[in-house]
Structure formats: structure tokens, C-alpha cells
Amino acid sequence: MKVPGGLSKTELFATGLCVALMSVALSNALDCYVCSYMDGDSDASCVNNASAVRVLNCTMKYCLTVRKELKRNASKVISFLRDCQDEPLINHGNRPDDTIRTYYTSCKQNLCNGHNGRTNNSTGGASGSGAQNAIIPGKSNAQKNCLWAWLLNLLWFQLIF
């Protein structure tokens, strides 16, 4: 049976389903700041001013920052990265070696990696020796549930027709 516009019911349904699934996929995309800085670069916006760097509509799960600084001079940033990844190497925390401390943070909210990369955890303890990290809430599961509902409706529709 043809509907107005010359499309069959199946073609109309397939078009609507594609639009719906694409909108769900786009709603799962995550906006992250992306940039990199190496010691000696003339532009330090990546380290000091996240709002001045590029924003990427990322299809991966996490926004992240990785900050490397000298242990003896914490204000000396050796390298800095804002990016997005499916699985960060380390979610939160730091790894010191003899001369460099590397801070890792990751999060699942739009533009959540705009901080300085060296966020202190308020529960670090009185001695200050606790791990430096950021506690950032993630996305809700509502978007995942919406996708499952669409898939179940598609299966139901295929069984009926």
C-alpha cells in the first residue's frame, strides 16, 4: 500500500527508523575539548584556556586530560593533552616517577575536560599524599535504554508484518 508521497509503508518505516537511530547515535556523541601542548610550544592555550581550543563531537565514551609536569617545579608543564577515547589508559589518578608526575582524568559529560588536568580529590587525606584525581559523574543510562526500546520495537514490527 502506498502512502502520500509515493512511499510504501515499509519504505516510510525504514526512513523513519533510520532518522530515529541516527538521532539516538548523535545524542550519544560527546563534546570534548581536543588539543595538545609540548614544552616549548608558543601557544599554551591547551593548558591555560580550554575554551580557546577546538571542540570535537566525539563518538567515543570518555573525554580525558593527561598532564605531565616536573616534580621539582610543578608549574612547569612538560606536556598536556585533551582528547577523547573509548578506554583511557588510567581513569583517574597520577603516576610519578623520579622526575615527572603524570595526572590522568577522564569523564563522560560534554566539555568536562576543560579543567587544568591537576584537580585535587577532596578526600585525599590530611597529609596531602592522596592521589590527585577528579571525581566526575558519568552519563545516565537513559540513552542506552532508549536504543534498546527502538530495537525491541523494530523486532516487534518485523514479527507483525
- pLDDT tens per residue, range 91-142: 888 888 999 999 999 999 999 999 999 874 332 322 333 333 343 334 444 4
CA distance 104 to 124: 16
Helix (H) or strand (E) holding 151: helix 142-160
Residue at 37: amino acid letter: Y
Cβ proximity of 58 and 137 under 8 Å: no
Question: 30-138 maps to which CATH number?
Answer: 2.10.60
Parse the chain into domains and list their residue ranges. Answer: 30-138
Lowest mean pLDDT among 23-32, 65-74, 117-126: 117-126
140-154 pLDDT tens trace: 444 444 444 555 555
